[in-house]
Structure 1
Amino acid sequence: MYHPGVDWLNYHHLLYFWTVAREGSVTAAARTLNLSQPALSTQIRALEESLGERLFEKAGRGLRLTGAGQVAFRYADEIFTLGREFRQALKGRPTGRALRLVVGVSDVLPKLMVQRLLRPALRLGEPLHLTCREGTLPLLLEALQAHEVDIVLSDVPCTPVTGPRAFNHLLGECGVELFGSPDLVARHPGPFPEALNGAPFLLPSEGHALRRGLDTWFERRGLHPVISGEFDDSALLMTFGEEGLGFLAAHAAISGEVARAHGLVGLGPMDGLKGRIYAVSAERRLVHPAVLAVLEAAKAEIFL
């Protein structure tokens, strides 16, 4: 029954839009749907008017999706995929559908930390299709708002300065430890941290949360490191660290993994320095079972 005042989505119009987007043109879609081109164009315009958004724009002799059209296509694709699976389920056929989780990963996060954080999602007991997208936080937050990712992992919370409105969920915080290759450590004997004055360091690029903390730590202890390299990407920083080109800092929660994976020696904790990890979502309330597993395990197993 129709209820006045409630916005209804015309799924026939959505199907026509989805087909045009998949086929790449009104002509090809009209053939697939066995409709005339004018009738199909009218239905697409009706959908655009009901949504209040342009879904297509001219691109040479063809069409391309607008930003709103890209969002609409992703939702339409999911809707019609679910529709097919619904019919199969009613007929008693297995759908074979895996739970999907798309995670945006800030490129400054240690890859070992990301792996450990996401590991519980793979232990849910049901098939999971995990996709990780790495990039800068502003780009990942845009993808979050466009519903291209389910969650963003970051070392800093989202603020009005860093991007669109989102909700921060603190996974936990831990200390920071200093590491170096065995040869590098041997070349700088003495008490920690005084023996590191003038030693080479590999640091995150300026502007990163850990870099700000490290700069403050050096200043408070009167240390003057020689900066051998600055990196946006944590994996590249670790690779240079393996070669003994400088000391580096890493989260204490993964100190064992860092030492084993990269052949590094731990020198000790950097007192007063903390690292934090956040999960950023587009909605206040988290309902995705894989995301909930990540949050629960982070607090119970990683950040104790």
Structure 2
Amino acid sequence: MDQLNYHHLRYFREVAHDGTLTRTAERLNLSQSALSTQIRSLEGRLGLPLFERKGRQLVLTEVGRIALDHADRIFGTGQELLQTLNRSADHTPPLRIGALSTLSRNFQLQFLRPVLGQSDLDIVLKSGSNNRLLTALSALAFDVVLSTETPPSAAGSDFIAHRLAEQTVSLHGTPARMGHATLRDLLANEPVIVPTESSIRTGFNSLTARLDVKPHIVADVDDMAMVRLLAREGAGLALAPSVVLADEIANGTLRTAPFDLGIVENFYAVTTPRTFPHPMLATLLADQST
């Protein structure tokens, strides 16, 4: 099929909504014959009739109904584009968020909570590596990237890292694993579930070297949700911020070891300068700082 002529499609849409050539011709200041020619040209492209005449009315055929549905979406999208660029849109575009794959699901939920439940807002959330997410952010495929890592300070980089929170990293496990008098005894005798997230892993390596202890790392995990599940199943002590296991700590399934590890994790919302940022982004960033 040859490429569709959108002028023909537009005139078809106008007639389909009006129901008569006469009304549409008068409204668009066209002759009925010119309008008929436009519609016949579109029917020729599609190879099927769009209308059947019943008395003075033009009634859509099945193909006509399908074509009208597509035409409404096509021209509706064009109108949304103009409204967005004029900042007059009465709808909210999808909020596209990238999240580091190791990032706590609880933290992501906490970030999104101010906008959850808004009926006119769709949220698209995808996870991945920091490099992949930042590449997509540069290409404007995301509105914001949630990460525990600051963007690289390469020449020409225009990323903006909004620091949302700093959380202490602790060891969390079932009550049966907590009967140790010192941190060194705890690490020497209990298996540990360690996330691959860089700042936590670096801090943990420094801690064990300082204590001169070689821990039994039972699991090296790149997903905080799995860290949480393994700890809940009693597989070992989870090395993580409390937000990761907030529900289990609150209901007593897990306890936090009473030792200061000296490890903190920072949470960032990374953005890029945009002429037309998502309208909800400023609200989200403001809510995180209160």
Q: Is structure 2 residue 144 aligned with structure 1 residue 148?
A: no
Cα-to-partner distance string for 1:192-245 (whole Å, 9 max, x where unaligned): 41331322101112x622111111122223332101010111111221111111
Cα-to-partner distance string for 1:168-200 (whole Å, 9 max, x where unaligned): 111121212210123433xxx221413313221
Amino acid at match of 1:81: T
Q: Distance in 2 between matches of 1:232 and 1:181?
A: 21
Amino acid at match of 1:117: F
* RMSD over aligned Cα atoms: 3.4
Q: Distance in 2 between matches of 1:173 and 1:221?
A: 24
Q: TM-score, normalised by structure 1?
A: 0.62
Match of 2:108 among 102, 111, 114: 114
Match of 2:272 among 275, 282, 287: 282
| Aligned residues with identical type, % of pairs | 24
- Give the equivalent residue in structure 2 for 1:21: none
Cα-to-partner distance string for 1:14-67 (whole Å, 9 max, x where unaligned): xxxxxxxxxxxxx443366669xxxxxxxxxxxxxxxxxxxxxxxxxxxxxxxx
Cα offset, 1:259, TM superposition: 1.8
Q: Is structure 2 residue 215 aligned with structure 1 residue 208?
A: no
Q: Distance in 2 between matches of 1:258 and 1:109?
A: 18
- Give the equivalent residue in structure 2 for 1:64: none
Give the total of aligned pairs.
Answer: 220
Structure 1 spans left out of the alignment, 5+ residues: 1-26, 36-76, 88-94
**Residues 101, 230 of structure 1: CA spacing in aligned structure 2 closer, same or farther, 3 A cutoff?**
same
**Residues 179, 200 of structure 1: CA spacing in aligned structure 2 closer, same or farther, 3 A cutoff?**
same
Residue 30 of structure 1 aligns to a residue whose secondary structure is coil
Q: Distance in 1 between matches of 2:249 and 2:243?
A: 12
Q: Distance in 2 between matches of 1:98 and 1:156?
A: 29
Deviates more, 1:147-156 or 1:126-135: 126-135
Amino acid at match of 1:245: A
Q: Distance in 2 between matches of 1:141 and 1:148?
A: 10
- Give the equivalent residue in structure 2 for 1:272: 262
Amino acid at match of 2:236: G
Cα offset, 1:251, TM superposition: 1.8
Q: Distance in 2 between matches of 1:200 and 1:252?
A: 18
Q: Is structure 2 residue 43 aligned with structure 1 residue 30?
A: no
1:242/1:262 contact within 8 Å kept: no
Q: Distance in 1 between matches of 2:171 and 2:4?
A: 63
Runs of 4+ in 1 over 6 A off after TM superposition: 77-80
Q: Distance in 2 between matches of 1:231 and 1:153?
A: 19
Cα offset, 1:141, TM superposition: 1.1
Amino acid at match of 2:192: F
Q: TM-score, normalised by structure 2?
A: 0.65
Cα offset, 1:128, TM superposition: 1.8
Residue 128 of structure 1 aligns to a residue whose secondary structure is coil
Q: Equivalences for 1:188-227 in 2 at 5 Å? A: 189-198=179-188, 199-205=190-196, 208-227=198-217
2:194/2:219 contact within 8 Å kept: yes
**Residues 258, 101 of structure 1: CA spacing in aligned structure 2 closer, same or farther, 3 A cutoff?**
farther
Q: Equivalences for 1:1-304 in 2 at 5 Å? A: 27-30=1-4, 81=77, 83=79, 97-122=91-116, 127-160=120-153, 165-185=158-178, 189-198=179-188, 199-205=190-196, 208-252=198-242, 256-260=246-250, 263-283=253-273, 287-300=277-290
1:98/1:126 contact within 8 Å kept: no
**Residues 269, 258 of structure 1: CA spacing in aligned structure 2 closer, same or farther, 3 A cutoff?**
farther
Amino acid at match of 2:122: H
**Residues 122, 138 of structure 1: CA spacing in aligned structure 2 closer, same or farther, 3 A cutoff?**
same
Structure 2 spans left out of the alignment, 5+ residues: 10-72, 84-88
2:183/2:259 contact within 8 Å kept: no
**Residues 285, 232 of structure 1: CA spacing in aligned structure 2 closer, same or farther, 3 A cutoff?**
farther
- Give the equivalent residue in structure 2 for 1:65: none
Q: Distance in 1 between matches of 2:151 and 2:180?
A: 41
- Give the equivalent residue in structure 1 for 2:16: none
Cα offset, 1:97, TM superposition: 3.2
Residue 241 of structure 1 aligns to a residue whose secondary structure is helix
